[in-house]
Amino acid sequence: MERLQKVLAEAGIASRRKCEELITAGRVQVNDEVVTTLGVKVDPKQDSIRVDGKPIRKQSKVYLLFNKPKGVITSAEDPEGRKTVTDFFKHLKVRVYPIGRLDYDTEGLLLLTNDGDFAHLLTHPKFHVPRTYLATVNGVPHGTMLDKLRSGIKLEDGMTSPAEVDYYDVDPDKKEAIIKITIFEGRNRQVRRMFDAIHHPVIKLKRVQFGPILLTGVPRGKSRPLLPVEVEELRKAAQDVGAGKSHNIHKGELDV
């Protein structure tokens, strides 16, 4: 059983808040009875639900892999009027929203869906699936510095948990290096703060892997639907944290 406003929102009628307004305005019927109180629970499979007399249709679930460019905000709306990830999906019949977030200046793999349960599973801290990034940093960090990131480093909100960290590419004139880092938790600006802590600030950050899913073959600003098998793999990775350990990505395999 689910709350009526949630079921309406998931059927793409409107946002959850707007659906609450529809209910209190007396425009929603459940099994031919008008419901005006909030919090009523329904069974979307059994109950007949209508809005303004029209039956709601269950939306098919959509799962997308997007290669987010930098300079795009990961939220549905931005009060400052900046470009948002949902601007890229206005042509779809369904409303999709991002699973987790990437900073405005971070690019790379972002999943979007209209499946609230799936999004919840993949963003819940208890089920945190590993995320892998290529971080282009200022200078070339010494191996002992990378060891610090591997074992855990003190940030202002506490020690980080162990990360997988490797050199991906080093600039011949040693001005910068690309470091591949996999983290198993998702604090705000975590990767940037980890490199700040070893005094090699991030110049460019790109997420290249999310659990078992790699960002390959999707140009910047473009998306592709996830295959059903990939959706299943992600569900499994969330339930079996650690199963999606980073692939052995080698230099040249991914666009930086």
Q: Where are the alpha helices (DSSP H) in the chain?
A: 4-10, 16-24, 116-123, 143-151, 190-197, 228-239
| Nearer to ligand URA among residue 19 and residue 129 (C-beta) | 129
Task: Return the number of the residue (38 or 159) whose C-beta is nearest ligand URA.
Answer: 159
Can you name the residues that pair with 253 across neighbouring β-strands?
none
Confirm if 58 and 6 have CB atoms less than 8 A apart. no
Which residue, 5 or 160, is less far from ligand URA as judged by CB? 160
Identified catalytic residue from 103, 166, 169, 196: 103
Q: How far is the CB of 125 from ligand URA (least distance, A)?
A: 14
Q: Cβ closer to ligand URA: 50 or 189?
A: 189
Q: Which residues bind ligand URA (CB under 6 A)?
A: 102-103, 106, 189-192, 205
Nearest distance, CB of residue 102 and ligand URA, angstroms: 4
Q: Which is nearer to ligand URA, 11 or 134 (CB)?
A: 134
Task: Please spell the DSSP secondary structure of the chain, one letter per residue.
Answer: -EEHHHHHHHTTSS-HHHHHHHHHTT-EEETTEE--STT-EE-TTTS-EEETTEEP-PPPP-EEEEEEPSS-BSSS--TT---BGGGGGTTSSS--EESS---TTEEEEEEEES-HHHHHHHH-GGG---EEEEEEEES---HHHHHHHHH--EETTEEPPP-EEEEEEE-TTSSEEEEEEEESS--TTHHHHHHHHTT--EEEEEEEEETTEE--S--TT-EEEPPHHHHHHHHHHHHSTTTTPPP---TTSS--
Q: CB of residue 75 vs ligand URA: minimum separation in angstroms? A: 13
Catalytic, 103? Answer yes
Closest approach of ligand URA to the CB of residue 186, in Å: 7
Nearest distance from C-beta of residue 166 to ligand URA, angstroms? 17
Tokens of 254: 């991914």
Question: Which residues are the active-site residues?
Answer: 103
